[in-house]
């Protein structure tokens, strides 16, 4: 079976603790209204799938996060590299 040669990174950007997430609050309320009472809190975020050039490193992705993908005032980011 051929293996994929794609070099990828998955970036998750989410609001920092203490930053109000109105969408998360509203979604949580909707879940509660549906009778799903086991969920204490919902925080929303956003995922970016990056397909990288072969020589790109985690540092490349970190630079992308700091420069654009996340706003450091309100958001934090996690990077998951494929290798």
Partner 1 sequence: MKFGVVVFPGSNCDYDAYMAIKHVLNQPVEYLWHADGDLKGSDCIILPGGFSYGDYLRAGAIARFAPVLKKVVDFASGGGAVLGICNGFQILLEVGLLPGAMLRNRNLRFVHRDVYLRCDNTNTLFTGALEEGAVLRMPVSHGEGNYFATAEQLEEIEKKGQVVFRYVNAQGIQAEGSNPNGSVQDIAGICNDRGNVVGLMPHPDRAIEALLGSTDGRAMFESVVMAIEGQTCEA
Q: How many residues bind partner 1 (CB under 8 A)?
A: 10
Burial level of 61, CB count in 10 A (0-12/13-18/19+)?
buried
5, 38, 73, 83: residue in contact with partner 1 (rule CB under 8 A): 73
- For residue 37, the minimal CB distance to partner 1 (Å) is 23
The reply to whether 71 sits near partner 1 by the rule CB under 8 A is: yes
The reply to whether 2 sits near partner 1 by the rule CB under 8 A is: no
- The encoded tokens of residue 75 equal 């958001």
* 21-60 positions binding partner 1, by CB under 8 A: 22-23, 26
Q: How far is CA 16 from CA 7, 24, 54, 58, in A?
A: 28, 13, 32, 21
């Amino acid at each position: 079976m051929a293996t994929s040669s794609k070099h990828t990174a998955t970036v998750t950007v989410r609001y920092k603790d203490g930053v109000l997430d109105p969408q998360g609050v509203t979604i949580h309320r909707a879940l509660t209204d549906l009778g799903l009472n086991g969920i204490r809190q919902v925080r929303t975020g956003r995922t970016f799938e990056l397909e990288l050039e072969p020589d790109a490193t985690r540092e490349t992705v970190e630079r992308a996060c700091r420069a654009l993908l996340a706003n450091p005032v309100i958001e934090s980011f996690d990077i998951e590299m494929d290798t």
